[in-house]
C-alpha cells in the first residue's frame, strides 16, 4: 500500500491532516493581518490592501503548487457545475455576513483563535443562525432559485482552449504586476 493510499484509507490521518492544515491556515491569516478587524475594514474601504495582497499571493502559490501535487497523485480537481442562482444567493449571504461583522468565515475562525470576542460571539453565532436559516429554506430554494441559470463545469484553461501552464504563466505575470501596482498605491 502506497503512502497516499494509506492516507486516503485512514479517516484518523485525514482528520489530523485537516486539523494541521486548518491551524496552519489560521496562523498564516493571523500573521498576515487578515484576522484584524481594522485591516478588514480598511480593505472594504479600499484604504488598506493587506487582505487582497495576502489572498492574491496565496492564489499565486496555489496555481503553481496544485498542478504539481496533482501530477504526483496528491491532489485531484473536481470542477463542479454551477448555477447563477446559487452564486447570487451565496454571494448575498456571504456579503451580508461580511458587511455586518467585518469577517469572512475563514477570518472569523482565525479571529476567534486570537481571542476576539466580537468574532466569537457575533461571528460564530451569526454563522450558526445563518446556517440554520439556509438549511430551513434549502428545500424550497433547491429546485427553484438555486437551480436557475446552469453553467458547465469548466476550468479557465479549458474555457480559453489553452495549455494549463500557458494560462498559469499569463495569470502569474498579470497578478505579479497587479501586486507591484498595489504596493505603489497610496491614498
Please tell me the distance from the alpha carbon of residue 136 to that of residue 130, in angstroms, as a whole number: 10
Residue with cell 482552449: 161
Res 186: pLDDT: 61
Residue 44: how many CA atoms within 13 Å on its side-chain side? 16
Whole-model pTM: value is 0.74
Closest to 103 in 3D by CA, of 127, 86, 133: 127
Closest to 29 in 3D by CA, of 96, 127, 114: 114
Q: Please check whether residue 92 is in contact with residue 99, taking contact to mean a CB–CB distance below 8 angstroms.
A: no
What is the DSSP secondary structure assignment for residue 150, as one 8-state letter? Answer: E
What is the DSSP secondary structure assignment for residue 148, as one 8-state letter? Answer: S
Please tell me the distance from the alpha carbon of residue 9 to that of residue 30, in angstroms, as a whole number: 32
- To 10 degrees, the CA torsion angle through 96, 91, 105, 10? 150
- pLDDT of the chain along its 187 residues, tens only? 456 667 667 788 888 888 898 888 888 888 888 888 888 888 888 888 888 888 899 899 999 999 998 898 888 888 888 899 999 988 988 888 888 888 888 888 888 888 888 888 888 888 888 889 889 989 998 888 888 999 888 888 998 999 999 999 999 999 999 999 888 766 5
Assigned C-alpha cell, 114: 486570537
Amino acid at each position: 500500500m502506497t503512502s497516499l493510499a494509506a492516507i486516503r484509507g485512514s479517516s484518523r490521518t485525514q482528520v489530523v491532516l485537516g486539523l494541521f492544515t486548518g491551524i496552519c491556515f489560521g496562523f498564516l491569516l493571523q500573521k498576515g493581518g487578515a484576522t484584524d478587524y481594522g485591516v478588514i475594514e480598511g480593505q472594504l474601504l479600499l484604504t488598506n490592501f493587506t487582505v487582497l495582497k495576502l489572498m492574491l499571493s496565496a492564489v499565486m502559490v496555489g496555481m503553481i503548487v496544485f498542478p504539481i501535487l496533482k501530477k504526483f497523485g496528491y491532489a485531484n480537481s473536481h470542477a463542479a457545475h454551477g448555477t447563477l442562482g446559487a452564486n447570487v444567493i451565496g454571494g448575498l449571504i456571504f456579503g451580508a455576513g461580511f458587511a455586518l461583522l467585518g469577517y469572512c468565515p475563514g477570518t472569523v475562525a482565525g479571529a476567534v483563535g486570537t481571542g476576539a470576542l466580537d468574532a466569537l460571539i457575533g461571528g460564530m453565532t451569526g454563522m450558526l443562525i445563518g446556517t440554520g436559516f439556509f438549511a430551513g429554506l434549502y428545500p424550497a430554494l433547491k429546485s427553484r432559485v438555486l437551480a436557475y441559470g446552469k453553467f458547465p463545469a469548466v476550468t479557465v484553461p479549458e474555457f480559453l482552449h489553452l495549455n494549463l501552464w500557458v494560462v498559469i504563466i499569463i495569470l502569474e505575470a498579470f497578478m505579479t504586476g497587479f501586486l507591484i501596482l498595489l504596493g505603489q498605491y497610496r491614498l
